[in-house]
Amino acid sequence: MKRARLLIWLGPATVALILAGSVAWLLNRPATTDCGAETPANREIRATEVVVQPWFGKHHVYGIFMIPNRYTPRMNAATMTVRGLDHHFAVDGRRREQHVAAVFAGPGHYLLRGYVPTRMAVWSLINGRFGDLRHPCNWTLAFIERSR
């Protein structure tokens, strides 16, 4: 009787251990791309810091960009791209901040957050590209001059 109970619990416990090990391995995979000495093009800014914690739910996957004051939401629209995700994300430039997480805006700058949907972060985890998502050099914010 005791042996039968042990066998009933052994299967699910083994599956849970394998699943936990797989998730831990996927979370700790290194980036598949190297940023190296790549420099962003004119009117493009790389992320200063990224927060990638999709397990906390909505609004926990974002890049923090330090923007020079010359780029104003009234004159420029901003789109964000993340290497490895085939999508452009609109960034709301009206929400200018001086402090986000542990990042402070330098003199003559303000901070913007660019969000990635949680489902895309989970998808990159499943596809083994989570390491790329965690590196700020893969996040780029491009400014486009608005037509007058």
* Domain containing residue 112: 31-145
Q: Note whether 129 and 32 are within 8 A (CB).
A: yes
* H helix runs in the chain, sequence order: 2-27, 118-126, 130-133
Q: Running DSSP on this structure, what letter comes out for residue 36?
A: T
**Interval 67-80: pLDDT, tens:** 888 887 777 788 88
pLDDT at residue 137 above 80?
yes
Its sign, for the CA torsion 83, 89, 93, 95, is negative
State the average pLDDT over residues 27-46: 66
pTM of the model: 0.72
Looking at residue 22, its pLDDT comes to 59
Total count of domains within the chain: 1
CATH number (domain holding residue 137): 2.40.30
Give the other-Cβ count within 10 Å of 79's Cβ.
14
101 vs 114, which has greater pLDDT? Answer: 114
Q: Is residue 4 part of a domain?
A: no
**Interval 44-66: pLDDT, tens:** 899 999 998 888 888 889 999 99
